[in-house]
């Protein structure tokens, strides 16, 4: 493999891994905020325990997502200096805002939420988790503004062969970004809903003593998963309206459409192969569609099942299947991400900068070393995150340290004679 292929593989693996953390973080943050709102309004002890349990799982995943995000950022300078030199003056603005939101505002308020249990007014504490959730949305928004610019460059001018930001409003209003933002948020809620329902089903299947706790959690997860799946599909359909011509031609599977798209691109940009990888685009797209149908059918059936109390409590086959469904939304989101990103090839900035021109001037050996280091690090982080989430999820709500009331030490009275 040459330097370009190694750089692409490295970024695909690391960005895809980070994307999984982001999806669960967005979904769980919203669910935790909703549950805490219910607990605050009603003073329900079970909903407050639910907030602590699911909140602790959210914090574990958030911490790992921050680590992977920081590591991934290094690749822009290490592997893609050609991209940053050419277009960094444009998308650097949105990345800077995202960094400010995620690493200053979101992390600060999350810290206050974690350490503010039993110390802050309950309404102030509730406000903190909603600020955390909204800033998480804002972080995802600015990342997708950046990605949308690479997919559909707008709001720029060329100065001396380098792109400069000319219209910030056009950058923010880019339809390739806004539609993707809705699609990703919906997908994150699908991930969070199936995760909550699957973990709850695991405990119900094992005849846990926390029946009320996990019945309520399961119902919330299922109630979110079905509308979120439909919401995601709507924005996914709108996304097909923003496909680049070559990508749309490949997805259609029509040899005539592909030949026409290739001829149009040659006429515009000169000789070259301008069709994205056909197998990857079609395979990822079909995987996404098939798994969407599976999730839609299963979430609809589960929505009916959850209305029947004996089924929620004792239908063990359904519990098994709900647990097995946990990874399906993750796989679907990765397939969608591959479909979106591979369909942009051979462009780093569509129509303006080829991927081969965006790579840093390093040798294949140096890039291979970087690939091994980054992939190994991300592999360890993924395994660690899985182990921590699985362990905490299995241990149940009584093991949640988040918000636990500290017990005062017992002082033995002194003996007097």
Token pair for residue 386? 């899985």
pLDDT recorded at residue 161: 87
The answer to the question of residue 55 being in a domain is yes
Residue 13: which domain range? 3-244+276-365+376-399
Percent of the chain with pLDDT over 90: 52
370 within domain boundaries: no
Q: Is residue 258 part of a domain?
A: no
More confident residue, 334 or 66: 334
Number of domains present in the structure of the chain: 1
CA angle 64, 67, 73 (to 5 degrees): 135
Give me the pLDDT at residue 414, please.
46
Give the global pTM: 0.90
Average pLDDT over residues 331-352: 92
129: in domain: yes
347 pairs with which residues across the strands? 354
Over 70: is that where the pLDDT of 328 sits?
yes
* Between residues 74 and 184, the one the model is more confident about: 184
Q: What is the pLDDT of residue 376?
A: 87
Residues 93-138: tens digit of each pLDDT: 888 888 887 778 888 899 999 998 888 889 999 999 999 999 999 9
- How far is CA 162 from each of CA 73, 84, 213, rounded to the nearest angstrom? 22, 10, 57
In a domain, 30, yes or no: yes
Q: What are the b/e assignments for 278-301, b being 16+ CB within 10 Å?
A: eebbbebbebbbebbeebbebbee
Q: How far apart are the C-alpha atoms of 81 and 303, rounded to whole Å?
A: 49
pLDDT of residue 386: 87
Task: Summarize pLDDT for 13-49 with one digit per residue, the tens.
Answer: 888 888 888 899 999 999 999 999 999 999 999 999 9
> Residue 310 — pLDDT band, cuts 50, 70, 90?
confident
- Residues 197-230: pLDDT tens digits? 999 999 988 876 778 899 899 999 999 999 999 9
* Assigned domain for 186 exists: yes
Residue 408 counted as domain residue:
no
Q: Which of 62-71, 169-178, 236-245, 276-285 has the lowest mean pLDDT?
A: 62-71
When pLDDT is averaged across residues 152-177 and rounded to a whole number, the result is 91
Check residue 408 and give its pLDDT: 44
Does 71 fall in a domain?
Answer: yes
């Amino acid at each position: 493999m040459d330097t370009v292929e190694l750089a692409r593989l490295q970024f695909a693996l690391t960005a895809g891994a980070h994307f999984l953390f982001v999806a669960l973080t967005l979904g769980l943050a919203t669910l935790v905020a909703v549950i805490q709102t219910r607990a605050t309004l009603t003073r329900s002890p079970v909903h407050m325990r639910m907030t602590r349990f699911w909140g602790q799982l959210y914090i574990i995943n958030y911490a790992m997502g921050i680590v992977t995000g920081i590591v991934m950022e290094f690749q822009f300078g290490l592997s893609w200096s050609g991209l940053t030199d050419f277009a960094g003056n444009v998308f650097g603005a949105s990345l800077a805002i995202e960094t400010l939101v995620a690493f200053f505002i979101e992390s600060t308020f999350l810290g206050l939420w974690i350490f503010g249990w039993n110390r802050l007014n309950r309404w102030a504490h509730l406000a903190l988790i909603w600020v955390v959730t909204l800033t998480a949305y804002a972080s995802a928004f600015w990342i997708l503004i950046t990605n949308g610019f690479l997919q559909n460059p707008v709001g720029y001018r060329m100065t001396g062969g380098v792109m400069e930001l000319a219209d910030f409003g056009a950058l923010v209003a880019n339809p390739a970004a806004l539609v993707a933002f809705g699609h990703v948020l919906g997908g994150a809620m699908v991930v969070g809903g199936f995760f909550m329902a699957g973990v709850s089903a695991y405990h119900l299947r094992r005849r846990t003593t926390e029946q009320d706790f996990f019945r309520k959690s399961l119902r919330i997860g299922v109630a979110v998963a079905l509308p979120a799946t439909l919401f995601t599909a709507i924005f996914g359909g709108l996304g097909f309206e923003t496909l680049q011509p070559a990508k749309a031609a490949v997805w259609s599977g029509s040899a005539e459409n592909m030949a026409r798209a290739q001829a149009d691109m040659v006429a515009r940009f000169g000789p070259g192969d301008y069709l994205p990888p056909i197998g990857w685009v079609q395979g990822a797209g079909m995987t996404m569609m098939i798994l969407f149908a599976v999730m839609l059918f299963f979430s609809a059936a589960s929505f009916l099942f959850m209305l029947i109390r004996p089924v929620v409590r004792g239908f063990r086959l359904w519990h098994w299947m709900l647990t097995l469904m946990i990874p399906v939304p993750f796989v679907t989101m990765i397939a969608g991400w591959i479909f979106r990103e591979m369909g942009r090839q051979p462009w780093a900035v569509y129509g303006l900068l080829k991927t081969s021109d965006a790579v840093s001037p390093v040798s294949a050996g140096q890039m291979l070393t970087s690939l091994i280091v980054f992939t190994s690090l991300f592999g360890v982080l993924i395994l660690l995150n899985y182990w921590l989430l699985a362990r905490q999820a299995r241990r149940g709500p009584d093991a949640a340290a988040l918000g636990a009331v500290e017990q005062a030490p017992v002082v033995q009275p002194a003996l007097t004679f």
